[in-house]
């Protein structure tokens, strides 16, 4: 229609006054990580709510994202063969696009091997056993870590709905899956892990990207910085 207006074929484009509806926003566009108190609340919720396979599924996904900094598209594409339980590593060599198609990561740096802690390994072993039990009931075997037993890969929209339900039940704001990745990076930064190591773990192509995106501190860390300054100043005065 705009092309027709420019040629003089029509006087106006009726679509100019049509407002395109926007997708619902998350509860916060700026807050992209969890505070220590929110993490404590979320983890406590998961501890109390793993009685069903569905609850275990949600807890395992969220805790894995928190422990690894994986992108949700990478987690959705994970297969059991990507996880080395002996050496405690996860191989990231594929991702899912918006059409739920498997692709190679966009950059070479996104192809990486992530070390995982023992608690995460044990969590995945237990989850795999429970998945096998559920799959056997349906006469299936699963190679996809976060399979839904029907489609090969669960959709991002379906996982988003599940996350919203978890956050609502836990009494927390829903800031999206990327908050787990941001929180993971923030925790590493606060613990003194060098930016270069975080860059490699997250699969960033440039260290500047890591510094620009994840160079923030939680409110707890900011308060801790103030306390360190106060204590240092007090020690100087005493000396």
Q: What's the whole-number average pLDDT of the chain?
A: 83
**pLDDT over 60 at 154, yes or no:** yes
With 0-12 / 13-18 / 19 or more C-beta atoms within 10 angstroms meaning exposed / middle / buried, residue 196 is exposed
For residue 221, what pLDDT is reported?
61
For residue 165, what pLDDT is reported?
97
Q: What is the pLDDT of residues 4-49, one digit of tens each?
A: 444 344 454 444 444 444 444 444 445 578 988 999 999 999 999 9
The CATH architecture to which 36-223 belongs is: Orthogonal Bundle (1.10)
Strand locations in 1-111, DSSP E?
83-84, 89-92, 95-96, 102-103
Q: What is the pTM of this model?
A: 0.78
Taking the C-alpha atoms of residue 184 and residue 116, their distance in angstroms, rounded to an integer, is 12
**pLDDT over 70 at 215, yes or no:** no
Domains of the chain by residue range: 36-223
Q: What is the pLDDT of residues 97-146, one digit of tens each?
A: 888 899 998 889 899 999 999 999 999 999 999 999 999 999 999 999 99
| Structural contact between residues 88 and 115, judged by C-beta atoms closer than 8 angstroms | yes
For residue 209, what pLDDT is reported?
75
| Structural contact between residues 156 and 31, judged by C-beta atoms closer than 8 angstroms | no
| Structural contact between residues 183 and 39, judged by C-beta atoms closer than 8 angstroms | yes
Helix (H) or strand (E) holding 115: strand 112-115
């Amino acid at each position: 229609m705009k092309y027709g207006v420019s040629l003089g074929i029509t006087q106006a484009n009726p679509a100019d006054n049509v407002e395109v509806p926007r997708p619902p926003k998350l509860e916060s566009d700026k807050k992209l990580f969890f505070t220590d108190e929110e993490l404590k609340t979320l983890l406590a919720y998961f501890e109390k709510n793993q009685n069903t396979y569905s609850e275990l599924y949600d807890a395992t996904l969220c805790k894995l994202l928190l422990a690894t900094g994986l992108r949700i598209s990478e987690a959705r594409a994970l297969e059991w063969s990507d996880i080395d339980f002996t050496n405690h590593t996860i191989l990231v060599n594929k991702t899912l696009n918006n059409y739920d198609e498997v692709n190679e990561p966009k950059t070479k740096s996104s192809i990486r091997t992530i070390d995982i802690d023992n608690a995460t390994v044990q969590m995945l072993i237990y989850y795999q056993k429970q998945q096998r039990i559920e799959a056997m009931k349906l006469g299936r075997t699963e190679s996809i870590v976060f399979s839904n037993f029907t489609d090969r890969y669960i959709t991002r929209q379906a996982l988003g709905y599940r996350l919203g339900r978890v956050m609502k039940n836990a009494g927390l704001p829903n800031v999206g899956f990327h908050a787990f990745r941001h929180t993971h990076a923030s925790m590493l930064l606060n613990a003194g892990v060098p930016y270069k190591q975080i860059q490699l773990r997250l699969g960033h192509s440039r260290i500047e990207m890591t510094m620009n995106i994840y160079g923030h501190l939680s409110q707890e860390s900011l308060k801790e910085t103030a306390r360190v300054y106060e204590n240092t100043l007090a020690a100087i005065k005493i000396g």
